[in-house]
Amino acid sequence: MEPILNVIPAIDIKGARAVRLKQGMKNHVTDYGDPVERAYEFQRAGAQWLHVVDLDAAFGEGSNWKIVESIVKQIDIKVEVSGGIRDDRSLDRALSSGSHRVTIGTAAMENPAWISEKFEDLAEKIIVALDIRDGRVATRGWTEETVPYREAIKRLDGAGCLRYMVTDISKDGTLTGPNLSLLEDVASNTESSVIASGGVALLEDIASLRHLVALGIEGAVIGKALYEGVFTLAEAIEVAERG
């Protein structure tokens, strides 16, 4: 049976609106309307997962939690939640809402003891975000850089991480194609699953990512290309599942 790549539409929320940022820059915003309506649209189009990000929480500038919670509770597909999950309270809130998985970035890098403890019972529900700029992992809404990503992977693998989400920040929101060499390198440095995020511009990019499934790439988060109508979600799923 041919490998299947999971297509995961992204809903990034800033100021109660669905938006896309260019290369993570919070002042380079494009507004795409009501986040809950977008969630329903993706569900109707055949999505099995949604990646929902509270950008204000990620930047430490507020919260869109009520909207995130509305999406989780109202739609009938699986949701992974991201943005500002940095302690027991925010993690418990996200999981108790019904989220199937949570994505943790800053706390996974800044608080090794805490994330190691969480992996003990919740490893299947935690995705560690490796947001990479110039070979280093960026945190706090991509505003600060930390250690080289290979060093981060070695530590996190040892702590029990089972899944990473890898974003080349320079590609995010640019429609210039994913960084396949980076994804291959990450996959070759871990036995854990990898979700690709950022840069998908064409259906051919999805086909290229599908060829990496055997290496451990299990999914692709797609945002701007769907919002801009470069291709439909149904077309993306067709390529991801059938080539």
Q: Which residues are catalytic?
A: 12, 131
Backbone angles phi, psi at 16, to 5 degrees: 70, 15
Cα–Cα distance, 127 to 51 (Å, whole number): 11
The per-residue DSSP string of 68-134 comes to HHHHHHHSSSEEEEESS--SHHHHHHHHHTT-SEEEE-HHHHH-HHHHHHHHHHHGGGEEEEEEEET
Q: Which helix (H) or strand (E) holds 10?
A: strand 6-14
Cα–Cα distance, 87 to 107 (Å, whole number): 7
Which residues on neighbouring strands pair with residue 139, listed in sequence order?
144
